Amino acid sequence: MFLAQLKNELWKLFGKKRTYIGFGAFVVAQTVMLLMFKYTRWQGQFERLLAGNGYLASDYISALTVALIMLVPQILLLMPLYVTLVGGDLVAKEAEDGTLRMILSRPISRVRLLLVKWVAGTIFSAVLVLALGAIALGFARMLFPWKGMFVVGELPHQIFALFPPGEGLRLYLFAHLFMAVNAVAMLSVAGMFSCFNMKPAAATILALSFLFMSMVMEHIPFFEAYQNWFITYHFAAWVLVFQTPVPWPQIIQSEIILLAVSATAFVIGAMAFQMRDIKS
Partner 1 sequence: MIELRNVFKIFAGRTAVDDLSFTVPRGEIFGLLGHNGAGKSTAIGMMLGQVWPTSGEVKICGHDVQTNRRDALLPVGAIFETPVFYDYLSGARNLEILSTYTAPTSRARIREVVEWVGLTGREQSKVRTYSHGMRSRLALAQALLPKPELLILDEPSDGLDPEGIHEMRQTILRLQRELGLTILLSSHLLNEVEQLCTRIAVLQNGKKVFEGNVADVKSARGKVALKTSDFAKATKLLHERGLITAMELEKYISLAEGRSTADITLALVAAGIPVDGIWQHEQTVEDFYLNLIKPPAAKK
| Residues near partner 1 (CB under 8 A) | 1, 4-5, 8, 11-12, 15-17, 97-99, 101-109, 113, 275, 277-280
CB of 97 to partner 1, least distance (A): 6
Distance CA 88, CA 191 (A): 5
* Helix, strand, or coil (residue 130): helix
Q: Among candidates 197, 208, 72, 180, which has minimal Cα distance to 121? A: 180
Which CB atom, from 41 or from 280, has the smaller least distance to partner 1?
A: 280
Which CB atom, from 108 or from 173, has the smaller least distance to partner 1?
A: 108
Residue 177, judged by CB atoms within 10 A of its CB (0-12, 13-18, 19+), counts as middle
Ranges of H-type helices in the chain: 2-15, 21-39, 42-52, 57-60, 63-73, 79-89, 92-97, 99-103, 110-143, 165-194, 200-218, 231-235, 248-275
Helix H or strand E encompassing 160: strand 158-163
Query: Which residues is 149 bridged to in the sheet?
Result: 163
CB of 102 to partner 1, least distance (A): 7
CB of 200 to partner 1, least distance (A): 15
| Cβ atoms of 160 and 56 closer than 8 Å | no
Which CB atom, from 12 or from 219, has the smaller least distance to partner 1?
A: 12
CB of 23 to partner 1, least distance (A): 16
Which CB atom, from 154 or from 277, has the smaller least distance to partner 1?
A: 277
CB of 195 to partner 1, least distance (A): 15
CB of 108 to partner 1, least distance (A): 4
| Cβ atoms of 121 and 87 closer than 8 Å | yes
* Helix, strand, or coil (residue 252): helix
Which CB atom, from 93 or from 234, has the smaller least distance to partner 1?
A: 93
Which CB atom, from 41 or from 279, has the smaller least distance to partner 1?
A: 279
